[in-house]
Amino acid sequence: MESKNAVKAFAALAHDTRLDVFRLLVRQGPSGLRAGEISARLGVPPSTLSAHLSRLESAGLLRSWRDARNVIYAPHVEGVRLLLTFLTEDCCQGHPEMCGTQFATPFSCG
């Protein structure tokens, strides 16, 4: 991942609501949630949520698809993996396994 893409992802996460959305969807896994369900769970108005979801998707952290009249959002596993790798690739002088198993194990979502 290039630094400019990492900065875009960090900027997308640097907001309380977007971070809450991202964490909710990571917990949910690859099946994702309908936008309306995200709105209800987090108590965020749909019009406000739409902008936050768009920003996270643009940063490569979420993916979306249509299911009839609903839009489903889920973590973009490869985007999250790239960001985590960017953060940890230089850990312990290039040996992330020395920092503990949480850094040596690739992100998996499902």
pLDDT digits (tens, 9 = 90+) for 8-45: 999 999 999 999 999 999 999 999 999 999 999 999 99
- With respect to residue 106, please indicate whether it lies within any of the assigned structural domains: no
- With respect to residue 99, please indicate whether it lies within any of the assigned structural domains: no
Query: What is the C-alpha end-to-end distance of the chain, expressed in Å?
Result: 22
- With respect to residue 17, please indicate whether it lies within any of the assigned structural domains: yes
- With respect to residue 96, please indicate whether it lies within any of the assigned structural domains: no
- With respect to residue 44, please indicate whether it lies within any of the assigned structural domains: yes
- With respect to residue 34, please indicate whether it lies within any of the assigned structural domains: yes
- With respect to residue 41, please indicate whether it lies within any of the assigned structural domains: yes
CB 58 within 8 A of CB 76: no
Round to whole Å and give the CA distance between 9 and 5: 6
- With respect to residue 90, please indicate whether it lies within any of the assigned structural domains: no
Instruction: Report the predicted TM-score, pTM, of the whole model to 2 decimal places.
Output: 0.82
Q: What is the mean pLDDT of the chain?
A: 87
CB 25 within 8 A of CB 62: yes
pLDDT band at 104 (very low <50, low <70, confident <90, very high): very low
Tell me the residue range of the domain where 46 lies: 3-83
Round to whole Å and give the CA distance between 92 and 73: 35
What domain count does the chain have? Answer: 1
The domain that holds 58 is classified in CATH as 1.10.10.10
